[in-house]
Amino acid sequence: MKHYDIRVKGRVQGVFFRASTRDRAQSLGISGYVENRRDGSVFIEAEGSEDQLKQLLEWCHSGPPQANVGSVEIEEGKVRKFSGFVIRR
């Protein structure tokens, strides 16, 4: 089990990025959360196997159809044992 802190920058708010991230994470069996940040980025804490997280990261580089991802920053963190994957407001 791994934990990643992921920050996605670009045109990523107002384009269903959070809902799409939740749907993708749930389909991959990843736990954690996604939220918008005041600086216009989207922040994700995600936990799962290396393969699950790799698939989520690949998706984050494009996101939903309306998004225009400029960059994806990843940091490994301490596993927090989330239950499920939610959108934080």
Of the chain, the end-to-end C-alpha distance in Å amounts to 26
Helix ranges restricted to H, 1-89: 17-28, 50-60
Q: pLDDT tens digit string along 32-84?
A: 999 999 999 999 999 999 999 999 999 999 999 999 999 999 999 999 999 99
Among 40, 42, 58, which residue's Cα sits nearest to residue 5?
42
For the annotated catalytic residues, the residue numbers are 18, 36
pTM greater than 0.85 (yes/no): yes
Domains of the chain, start order: 2-80 (3.30.70.100)
Model pLDDT, residue 25: 98
Rounded to whole angstroms, how far apart are CA atoms 78 and 67?
A: 29
